[in-house]
Amino acid sequence: YYAHVIKIPSSGRAVFSFGKVIHATLEKFFLLVKERSSASQGDLFGAKKTGVQKAPVTEKELLALYEQLWVEDWFFNEAEKKKYFDRGRAMLKEFYASLKGAIPVPALLEQPFTLKLGEVSFKGVIDRVDEIRLEGDPAWKLIDYKTGKPPKEGKLAFGDKEQLLIYQLAAKEVFGKKVAALVLYFLNTQQQFEFLGTDKELEKIRSLIVDTVQKIKNSDFAPTPGFWCQSCDYRFICPAAQR
């Protein structure tokens, strides 16, 4: 209610700022990979190819991009800022090492979409799309980066899959593409969880979006105070907040 109905501005948060920097760094990195690979791998008709390219961008260049894109905002103090910066640098070094010199060339990066579900329009952006072969035909592999912690049990629940299931719907219904795989890539541990949404899961996510929008429209925004009040941007003006 405070954020979206009466639109009271909120402060930024270090964790969100950090996540945006990491995503922006990887986007610029792969744009550079695409640029250099297309210059060396174009066919006779000038078509761009995707696949794997041997180290067209160095680790040093990746880390330089990170430093250029680093944002100083929303940190409590210098110690917290240094902790986040060092964590991001280590994360990116591990990511680069995991490629082992064979860097994939994405088909698309930060691809926006608008998905129509009945009267509901849902907008999103897919981090990365790789084009691979599925039973001899071109298909998409959709990859989403996460800077948080992977599931404790090492198994994805439906809630972990929701974002990528939406992307799978968008790939099929907006872009008319087959989807070969969905990948949640946890940069903290370099763990990749690969899966593909079933018809049942896709119908469930479709219903969830429509139902959630309807609940927002019908909501009376009654407060539900709890321990989460301590991290809420509006705790000092909300009369129901636990302090």
Give the count of beta carbons closer than 10 Å to the beta carbon of residue 138.
13
What is the percentage of the chain residues whose pLDDT exceeds 70?
A: 93
Average pLDDT, the chain: 89
Q: Where does the pLDDT of residue 13 fall: very low under 50, low under 70, confident under 90, or very high at 90 and above?
A: confident
The amino acid sitting at 174 is V
Global pTM reads 0.84
Q: Where does the pLDDT of residue 215 fall: very low under 50, low under 70, confident under 90, or very high at 90 and above?
A: confident
Q: What are 138-174's pLDDT values in tens digits?
A: 999 999 999 999 998 888 999 999 999 999 999 999 9
Res 122 pLDDT > 80: yes
Q: What are 33-72's pLDDT values in tens digits?
A: 999 988 766 544 455 455 565 678 999 999 999 999 998 8
Strand 120-134 and strand 137-146: pairing? Answer: antiparallel
Give the count of beta carbons closer than 10 Å to the beta carbon of residue 107.
20
What pLDDT was estimated at residue 147? 94
Res 77 pLDDT > 60: yes
What pLDDT was estimated at residue 224? 86
Average pLDDT over residues 204-218: 90
Q: Which residue has the higher pLDDT, 204 or 135?
A: 204
Nearest CA-CA partner of 28 in 62, 58, 55, 54: 62
Average pLDDT over residues 228-243: 88
- The answer to whether the beta carbons of residues 83 and 93 sit under 8 Å apart is no
Instruction: Reduce the secondary structure of the chain to three states and give it as a string.
Output: CCCCCCCCCCCCCHHHHHHHHHHHHHHHHHHHHHHHHHHHHCCCCCCCCCEEEECCCCHHHHHHHHHHHCCCCCCCCHHHHHHHHHHHHHHHHHHHHHHCCEEEECCEEEEEEEEEECCEEEEEEEEEEEEEEECCEEEEEEEEEECCCCCCCCCCCHHHHHHHHHHHHHHHHCCCCCEEEEEEEECCCCEEEEECCCHHHHHHHHHHHHHHHHHHHHCCCCCCCCHHHHHCCCCCCCCCCCC
Nearest CA-CA partner of 87 in 70, 68, 99: 70
Res 226 pLDDT > 80: yes
Res 15 pLDDT > 90: no
What pLDDT was estimated at residue 179? 97
What pLDDT was estimated at residue 125? 96
Q: Which residue has the higher pLDDT, 8 or 136?
A: 8
